Amino acid sequence: MAGKVLLHGGAGEWNISKDEEERVKDALRKAVMAGMKALKKGSALDAVEESVASMEDSSVLNAGRGAYPNIEGDIELDAGIMDGKTLSAGAVASVRNVPNPVRLARLVMEKTQHVLLVADGAERLAKGFSLYEAFKLSTARKKRYTAEIRKFIGQKWIKDLPIAFEKHLDTVGAVAIDDEGNLAAATSTGGTAFKLPGRVGDSPIPGAGFYASNGHGAASASGVGEAIMKYLLCMKVVASLGSLASPFSVLKTEINSLRGVYGPELAGVVAIDSRGVPSVYTDTKAIAIGYGVADGSTRVDIARKEKLDELNTLLIRQIPG
């Protein structure tokens, strides 16, 4: 089986300038290449870690160095990773000064007996493995944060919290399958812009923001974490990928079911089934994606919802873009 990596840079409106779009696509392209390089040397698990770490380092997506701040201007990061072969998972939440929380999540999975570590406890582990590094808001995030926070000065911030002033919700994630058929998934985020300190969404919760199981599939989600978490979106997607249904139809069914319970424009998912069939779907205006196959073909796109049928056909045919 040919190895594949499918990743996302978030679902949402993606109403950005051409220059911003090119920076995002460049970040996605680098992440695909990082994942494919890891896949050639190692496993699906290595591929999703490297793809997500690359996006965390890009400073243009809502993860790692490019994360949104909370209402007090602090960066708190969440991430999770899962090995479909063993069903092992690791995650971290509300960590500060850990620019690659996906690497820390893998350490939780492989070096501890736990699944989820948070805040100070996770940061102590990071220090022990040289993953702790003080860093500040990226220039782009700081500029946007400063402009938005001025609108709310003088208000009672808990009552009037301006949830998600950024509409493209660019959490990052990746799924992969290696040449032995092993599957893996990972997701990383800075969380909702202007969130309350300590808020944790779906990204570090196995079954919610990510899930992988050999023989079924792997999925990574982006969107409004509270809805995704309550619905356990990725768990439901992966369970359904074990059937003979097409992955695209599975994603449409589950995301539309979530829509029926919690409302519209809440989530996007990338997935690969056990046959290696990739799929992308979102209920939002668009989703940023990157895709790579073992022969070196790659594709990156900020795909509009109305173009997803065409995109999924292209991904299955492995046509480079």
> How many helices, marked H, and strands, marked E, lie in the chain?
9, 12
Alpha carbons 118 and 91: distance in angstroms, whole number: 8
Query: How many other C-beta atoms lie within 10 A of the C-beta of residue 228?
Result: 28
Alpha carbons 177 and 175: distance in angstroms, whole number: 7
Alpha carbons 41 and 82: distance in angstroms, whole number: 19
- Vertex 291: Cα angle to 287 and 296 (nearest 5): 160
Looking at residue 283, the DSSP 8-state letter turns out to be S
Query: What residue type is assigned to position 258 of the chain?
Result: L
Alpha carbons 276 and 182: distance in angstroms, whole number: 10
Please pick, among 86, 112, 146, 171, the residue that the annotation labels catalytic.
Answer: 171
284 is catalytic: no
Of 293, 295, 294, 313, which Cα lies nearest the Cα of 303? 313
* CA-derived radius of gyration, the chain: 18
**Where would I find the H helices in the chain?**
18-41, 44-57, 101-111, 119-128, 139-149, 225-231, 233-241, 247-262, 308-317
Angle, nearest 10°, between helix axes 247-262 and 308-317?
150
Q: Give the HSE-up count for residue 186: Cα atoms under 13 Å, Cβ half-sphere.
A: 35
Catalytically annotated residues: 171
